[in-house]
Amino acid sequence: MILKSDRFQTIYLVTPKCGTTSIYEAMLNWHGFKPNSPPRVYLRHNRREIAKTGLYEEDVQLENLESYYHSHRNFVWFSTILNRYARRFDYKTYFRGKCRHFLSSPKSWSDMNRVSSCIGNYINLTQFIDGLIANGIDWDPHYMPLAKLLRLDVVRYDCLLRLESLATDYQKLLDIMENRGVCTEEFKRVPALNASGSGNSTNLMLKQSLQSKIAQLYEEDFKLLGYENSLVRT
């Protein structure tokens, strides 16, 4: 999924669970909108009005991203990334989301939340990560390597915003836009929305055997995105 601003010649490639809510809010603010509901929901409920200002989503598949990129080389391209050891393996939340996705409509989400929470109690973190190793991680964008999701082999991003330093990196993005002739003086700071309450605590509870498995799963991300991989893989 891509969020594209024709008005400001900027393209955001969406990466799940990686500051997406904050970036949607910020880009809606660029176009003069102040959402009174979750930003992505607000955009989709007001799609026509927002599109008139030059902001809209485009569902660009990974296999088509290369050609799309070459036809929009004059845009500022950016995305968000995160440290794979942090805020990623909240597996009970993952089950809840998948149950809602596959088994229910929005009207029954509250019931599905209770059901999926029970399911999560029967599969522990070790089993979950072992399942990712056994079945692969390319089947779901929430767990797909960011290097693959971003198509770093074909797209040259002007800016990759780290979730861990989102406010600082967002300012770097605005500086790039200023250099391209976009006036960002009235743009607000990126809002911190839908932030995880777990912080980086997940990693502190991981056994070294699990740390090694995570390092194995996301070796490409550590290599290409510049995050330090200090864990010893077995």
Separation CA 234–CA 232 (nearest Å)? 7
* Structure tokens that stand for 119 in this block: 């399911």
Separation CA 156–CA 78 (nearest Å)? 9
Confidence grade of residue 85 (pLDDT, cut at 50, 70, 90):
low
Q: CB-based contacts of 203: which residues, under 8 Å, 6+ apart?
A: 85, 86, 211
Cα torsion at 144, 150, 152, 153 (round to 10°)?
80
- Share above pLDDT 70 across residues of the chain, in percent, rounded to a whole number: 73
pLDDT for the residue numbered 200: 44
Which tens digits make up the pLDDT trace of 150-181? 999 999 999 999 988 999 999 999 999 999 98
The helix/strand/coil state of 211 is helix
Helix axes 109-120, 91-103, angle to 10 degrees: 140
